[in-house]
Amino acid sequence: MFDVILQAGALIICGVIWRVTAPLGLDAETLRRSLTGVVYVLLLPALVLLVLWRAPMGLNSVRIALAAAAGVGVGILAAWLLFRRSKQPNMVVGALLLAAAFPNATYLGLPVLESALGPWARSVAIQYDLFACTPLLLSFGIALAAHYGGIEQKGHPVLALLRVPPLWAAAAGITLNVLRWRQPHIVSSLLQMLGGGVVPLMLFSIGLGLRWAGSWRRQIPLLIPIVIIQLLLTPLVIWGVAGIIGLHGSMLVAVVLEAAMPSMVLGIVLCDRYNLDTSLYAMAVTVSTAGSMVTLPLWFRILHAS
């Protein structure tokens, strides 16, 4: 697991270096948006279709979704209890709630699980995100951001979900899986070629999105509890929840590792759109991602030892 984290960390650092140096005159934010756009619209849907077309479907898919939803709930509840009587402005509290609730389940979770547990674990990362985290983000998460940002929510959550290409790919993959349609070799090869670009571009894009902004003396005291919730409390609770609902063995390990992922990068977009504290959220992503380089190997060792 440590080797996996080192490899992932190396690609993330490459993104950070690009942000600092901007070679070829390409600034990090423009490049990140372009790369993540390609991944989001083309490469990730191809990988989702490939994986879910082949993945075993059954009660474990429901259990993964339940565990993921519980993880989001634990993060929001714990952060809300901490900051509900805080004198911090709503734009700060809203950013902290998002940072504590939604993990980087695909952008970091997928490569880490695949490298640490094998190709089968890709389906866990995808189901964890697309069956629970993404729907909750585009419904409850947007409503939360709009409330704390003081901006009226535009559009219906269902319409937002319908605009997510990976969810369409997931629906297609599940349908083909249930119908037991054989995956043609040429289609499989094409999907593998497209999906192969997801992991390195995801990790590189995370590095491009990391930045240190604002006053650390003001932000670090706010971020420490968020990092503890995201990297320690949530996976601990989900470990217990996963066992109760019937996840065991390698599947349980995969789900707990997903729950232990740092704050998701996509939240920066919501903070920008709904007038939350974007710089604080970016700091939460940076600090929690750095912390996860230490905590993820620890969780992996603890889970295997148990």
Q: What is the pLDDT of residues 140-165, one digit of tens each?
A: 999 999 999 987 766 666 677 778 89
pLDDT one-digit tens code per residue, 287-299: 999 999 999 999 9
Predicted local confidence at residue 154, as pLDDT: 66
- Closest of 121, 110, 118 to residue 252, by C-alpha: 121
Average confidence score pLDDT of the chain = 89
Return d(Cα 223, Cα 241) in angstroms, integer: 26
pLDDT one-digit tens code per residue, 7-49: 888 888 999 899 889 998 888 888 988 988 898 899 999 999 9
Return d(Cα 196, Cα 190) in angstroms, integer: 10
Predicted local confidence at residue 215, as pLDDT: 62
Predicted local confidence at residue 157, as pLDDT: 67
Where residue 267 falls among pLDDT bands split at 50, 70, 90? confident
pLDDT one-digit tens code per residue, 151-207: 776 666 667 777 889 999 999 999 999 998 998 999 999 999 999 888 888 888 888
Q: Can you give the pTM of this predicted structure?
A: 0.87
Residue 87 has pLDDT above 70, yes or no: yes
Q: Hey, which CATH number is domain 2-16+28-301, 3.40.50.11720, 3.90.1150.10, 1.20.1530.20, 3.40.109.10?
A: 1.20.1530.20
Predicted local confidence at residue 58, as pLDDT: 87
